[in-house]
Structure 1
Amino acid sequence: MAPFVMKVIGIDLHAPGTPPPAFEDLTVPGTRLGEDLAARLGSAVGAEHVVTDDLDRVVHTYGKGLADLVRVRVGDLPRVPDVVVYPADEDQVRAVVDAVVAADAVLIPFGGGSNISGSLTPPADEQRVIVSLDLGRMNRVLEIDEAAGLARIQAGVLGPDMEEQLTARGWTMGHQPDSFRHSTLGGWIATRSSGMQSDKYGDIADITRGLRMVQPGKVVVLRPLPSTSSGPSVREMILGSEGRLGVITEAWVNVHRVPENREIMAYLFPSWAAGVAAMQDISASDAAPSVTRVSDANETQFSLSTQKKSKGIKGKVSKALFAVLERRGWDLQNACLSYIGYEGSAEHVTRTKAIVGKIIKAHGGIKLGTGPGSLYDQKKFDTPYIRDFLLDIGAMGDVSETAAPWSKLMDVHSGTVRAAREAFAQLGVKGFVMCHLSHSYHSGACLYFTFAFPPGVESAEEQLERYWVVKSAIQQSFVDNGATISHHHGVGTDHSRWLEEDISEAGTDVMVALLRGVDPGRNLNPGTLLPAHREW
């Protein structure tokens, strides 16, 4: 990868890095927790589960967005939670919520802490006591309704722990976001998460059929119904609410028998346009793959740069294949890598592969095989770690994702790439932007952009100013080209400034009325979701 990074952003990966500071070097503001609230919280969950330790409080201050990582590396901690509380069950959550609201304090639910849109960070000017409610102890699969294909699961369970409990009984939820190893069921619901296999299993909004959510003095209970016509959907209101409507404690979710066969196949297209057209045709066909993904030329070059060098016959075969493609007139700099996933019975997999194969061929693509596909499976959760490494050696890297109709996807892609490059030029830096299509739907798909550039400045404040020039250009390009501000990362504080452009002022009025009606005192994770000027 080192030569590739040097080429595209001019940074030497072999240069000595600057690791994050030691925790002891940070100056952490003292807790504001008073004796009365501390006593009520201790009565609710046990004194040993009411923690004011500085390290715990800092861990619960930020998510994993680029701005979060930059700030914590320089000890920028204007406001941290005053206490972290670890409930064991819903009754304890109810007691904590009631105690916090009675004390006119602030409650921020915390799952795995992997959010990258600013949904976890306390408002810097918040003077009230801030309580971080960590649901990590609520991590069990409670029951499975085998006849209905439903499982009741506590909201604090991490992805791997949940799947381990389900697969031990022959089931899977099939939801695998990039943050799978570090995120929770409740966090997925609260941000309307999507997984790599959503083409088969659906987004978390499709998977979640019922839930329980604690509000001050009461509990919202939604039974796991396949469908209902009982007015505007309260379930939909809670999905994506980011803790502003209450604390999700458990959910009924769709589960499926572990498939007999699972296979990821790699393909190569001569161009981005050909790859996108093929994904659209696959979505409209009788095929039912679990994954449909294609990278643009830049992301394809990045992916190839991270592979280990092939040796022996494997390396010779690759060289021979590329030589054949060049003779056919392919410009390999424009080639686009694709991954298609197949799950189910042998008959289903065979039939789906045959349908997909014909579509791939019709768009000029070729099959690379299961070898590269296996590599995708091995590395699918690894890319986020590269960002931390790049930060060590002085590069800024982050992501923005969106969704749009098929008719607008090409304009969204070209407009966003152009906007990012113009932002790099404005900053006078050598930057890089890449994209892949994932999560195909009947009417459109998700586009996931990654961008990186060298900051070229020293202070964290200047770094973040420059970062926001690029990030803002990308987000604005989304709405200007008919796309949404976020497909699955949520709104938080990072994307909220574009909310009125996304859902209209009138739509934002509806959201404000909902949040204000439930939480007039702004005790539940204030500052997220809404633009700052719409907070009451």
Structure 2
Amino acid sequence: MRGVSHQKWWGWGVEGVAFSHHDKPNMAPFVRERVGIDLDAPGSPPPTFEDIDVPEPRIGADLSATLTSAVGEDHLVTDDLDRVVHTYGKGLPDLVRIRAGDLPRIPDVVVYPGNEDEVRAVVDAAVEADAVLIPFGGGSNISGSLTPPAREDRVVVSLDLGRLNRVLEIDEASGLARIQAGVLGPDMEEQLGARGWTMGHQPDSFRHSTLGGWIATRSSGMQSDKYGDIADIARGMRVVLPGKVVALRPLPSTSTGPSVREMILGSEGRLGVITEAWVAVHRLPENRDIIAYLYPSWASAIAAMQEIAGSDAAPTVTRVSDANETAFSFSTQKVKKGASGKVQSVLFDVLERRGWDMDAVCLSYVGYEGDSAKVRAEKAVVGKIVRKHGGIKLGRGPGALYDQKKFDTPYIRDFLLDIGGLADVSETAAPWSRLMDLYFGTLRAAQEAFDSLGVQGFVMCHLSHSYHSGACLYFTFAFAPGVDGTEEQLERYWVVKKAIQQSFIDLGATLSHHHGVGTDHAHWLEEDISPAGTDLMVSLLRGVDPGRNLNPGTLLPAHREW
């Protein structure tokens, strides 16, 4: 597709890569007992593309000619596969609909500009023709930010930034790099790493998401404890608007009124098309280590995470799974041969004899980077805190395995879809003082939703990012909907999803920590930032884009669109 790689049209990741449980003997029994899904049930694989009825493009000759002039004939595409690839992100509702061939509105044309001037020409042409323009990066969004409104009658243009994929320059004295917005995470790190640098940003979607997408959704990565989230990393940027370009220099700090940089962060394409950014980069660390720890309970683990966040240690990763997620993680282990398997078995026997409830244990990973002295000192600080809260060190082995497999989890969701299971995530952030109430309240809300549907469901959680004042909790839920039909399945899915999201708001947390708003979370925006705060956002978006040409429908609740 014009030299730009894309994910599967029907699911996550690349063709030929899929999840299998057959080398994980404990997983099928665990899922059958805890989730009520038989992993060995005959599945329904995704349809072939030829089975999908794709609507014809609606673009007229004049706009087509103008866009062709802007990007060149080879980089304007109206074929069915390309347009379908650009219709949905990778959220659970997206995947259910695409597998069912549900395509009420898809882009009429996909354009692949090769530089900022071509982006400007495309934006100007789309607005002049009163078309809808939707920026597209890696297509990994899971909050409904990429799909055209179902009742949109105007021409829909998907602007794919995949050709803007280079690290342009590095200011080594300042630790800054100027990078094009369409670069995928691995390609960017390869280019930086060749010169001895790293950005350190690693969201779960790292392999299939772009710098521009991270900025547009206020992304956070698993190493954000050290490197910061994208709002900390992105220092300057260029953003194309109709007839003009916003150019923000990479200054360390400013006092020049409300931050335009902050306005663009999280704007999801509604404030223009991000073409490049200056980002903070760091020298590749001398050492990088992830160590696994085990706690006797969720309460002890959270207390330890809070103390680590306030300590002199500065880990790159602070993650801890609750008992459910820990049990699930253990169930996905392959058969351990030789000494390692015996060591784990003996250790768990010893802990049980000491009085540990092995059904309540919580697995944690802490990452360290830097020179040997720094890493050694931070491990000492963290180790003391872990022991204070009753935890033990498991060592490098589990940490190394986590580091290798951290980007593979979304493939499990596709596998469950094949056999009729629905699985998704909701993540949030709250102050430390509210974290335990938030955790238990959300578990109750999810269980009440499952009970109302008469289904068996499973919820697990991990703390994924720590801050001075609080942390991010990341919930995963799964269940078998027990009904056929796309709308019936999604209706049941939304009962659970809405219960979880509403619990976040009711318990003093945010509707999203790092997945953005899109259309899936927009319902709760006024409760999250207040009606008056939403007024400010509406005024900003309407002032920039009065014709609603730039990715309309995202960010705002439907009743606040003008």
Tell me the TM-score range normalised by the shorter chain.
Answer: over 0.9
Q: Which amino acid aligns with 2:238?
A: R
Of residues 385, 403, 411 in structure 2, which corresponds to 1:377?
403
Specify every segment of 5 or more residues in structure 1 that has no aligned partner in the other structure, as ranges: none
SS in 1 for 2:207: coil
Q: Take 2:343 and 2:150, find their aligned partners in 1: how far apart are those partners?
A: 57
Q: In 2, distance between residues paired with 1:2 and 1:220?
A: 53
Residue 457 of structure 1, aligned match among 483, 491, 495: 483
Task: Detail structure 1 runs of 4+ shifted over 6 Å in the superposition.
Answer: none
2:65 to 33, 39, 61: 39
* Partner residue in 1 for 2:553: 527
The 5 Å alignment of 1:492-503 reads 492-503=518-529
* Alignment-derived partner of residue 6 in structure 1: 32
Corresponding position of 1:163: 189
CA distance in 1, matches of 2:309, 2:438: 19
- Matches of 1:76 and 1:402 in 2, distance apart? 30
What's the CA shift for 1:314?
Answer: 1.4
1:160 deviation in Å? Answer: 0.2
Is 1:339 the equivalent of 2:369? no
Task: Name structure 2 gaps, 5 residues minimum.
Answer: 1-26
Tell me by how many angstroms 1:309 deviates: 1.6
Q: Give the structure 2 partner of residue 398 of structure 1.
A: 424
Alignment partner of 1:470 out of 473, 485, 496: 496
Greater displacement, 237-246 / 4-13 = 4-13
Report the alpha carbon displacement of residue 466 of structure 1 after superposing the two structures with TM. 0.1
What's the offset of the Cα at 1:163? Answer: 0.2
Correspondent of 2:218 among 192, 202, 207: 192
Per-residue Cα deviation, 1:450-508 (whole angstroms, up to 9, x for no partner): 00000111101000000000000000000000000000000000000000000000000
Q: In the alignment, what sits opposite 1:90? A: 116
Alpha-carbon distance in 2 for matches of 1:469, 1:381: 28
| Aligned twin of 2:164 | 138
1:124 to 150, 153, 166: 150
Distance in 2, Cα, partners of 1:149 & 1:312 = 46
Of 265, 268, 272 in structure 2, the residue corresponding to residue 242 of structure 1 is 268
Q: 1:174 Cα shift? A: 0.3
Are 2:320 and 1:294 equivalent residues in the alignment?
yes
Corresponding residue for 1:280? 306
Equivalent position to 1:511, from 530, 534, 537:
537
Deviation at 1:328, TM superposition (A): 1.2
Equivalent residue number for residue 177 of structure 2 = 151
Q: CA RMSD of the aligned region, Å?
A: 0.5
Identify the residue that residue 485 of structure 1 maps to in structure 2.
511
Q: Partners of 1:526 and 1:425 in 2: how far apart?
A: 36
User: Taking structure 1 as the reference length, what is the TM-score of the superposition?
Assistant: 1.00
Provide the TM-score with structure 2 as the length reference. 0.95
Secondary structure of the structure 2 residue equivalent to 1:332: coil
- Measured against aligned partners, the alpha-carbon deviations of 1:73-95 in whole angstroms (never above 9, x if no partner) come to 01000000000000000000000
3-12 or 63-72, which deviates more: 3-12
Write the mapping of 1:224-373 to structure 2, written as runs, cut at 5 A: 224-373=250-399
1:74 and 2:100 aligned: yes
Q: Distance in 2 between matches of 1:504 and 1:10?
A: 39
Q: Distance in 2 between matches of 1:421 and 1:133?
A: 41
1:317 Cα deviation after fit: 1.1
CA distance in 1 between counterparts of 2:544 and 2:183 reads: 26
CA distance in 1, matches of 2:292, 2:389: 15
SS of the residue 1:333 aligns to: coil
Describe the SS at the equivalent of 1:79. coil
State the SS of the aligned residue for 2:238: strand
The CA deviation string for residues 230-283 of structure 1, in whole angstroms up to 9 with x for no partner, is: 000000000000000000000000000000000000000000011011000000
Q: Distance in 1 between matches of 2:158 and 2:345?
A: 54
How far, CA to CA, are the matches of 2:267 and 2:179 in structure 1?
19
Deviations 1:412-440 (A, max 9, x none): 10000110001000011110000000111
User: CA separation in 1, counterparts of 2:51 and 2:161?
Assistant: 29
Q: Which residue of 1 aligns with 2:20?
A: none
Of 301-310 and 475-484, deviating more is: 301-310
Partners of 1:375 and 1:85 in 2: CA distance: 40
SS at match of 2:307: helix
Identify the residue that residue 388 of structure 1 maps to in structure 2.
414
Measured after TM superposition, the shift of residue 3 of structure 1 is 1.1
Aligned position for 1:105 = 131
Q: Which amino acid aligns with 1:70?
A: V
Q: State the percentage of identical aligned residues.
A: 80
Q: Distance in 2 between matches of 1:47 and 1:315?
A: 59
CA distance in 1, matches of 2:193, 2:74: 33
Count of residue pairs the alignment pairs up:
536
SS of alignment partner, residue 253 of structure 1: strand
Letter in 2 for 1:243: G
SS of the aligned residue for 2:555 comes to: coil
Could you tell me how far 1:14 is from its partner in structure 2? Answer: 1.2
The Cα offsets for residues 191-233 of structure 1, whole Å up to 9 and x where unpaired, read as 0000000001000000000000000000000000000000000
Secondary structure of the 2:536 match is helix
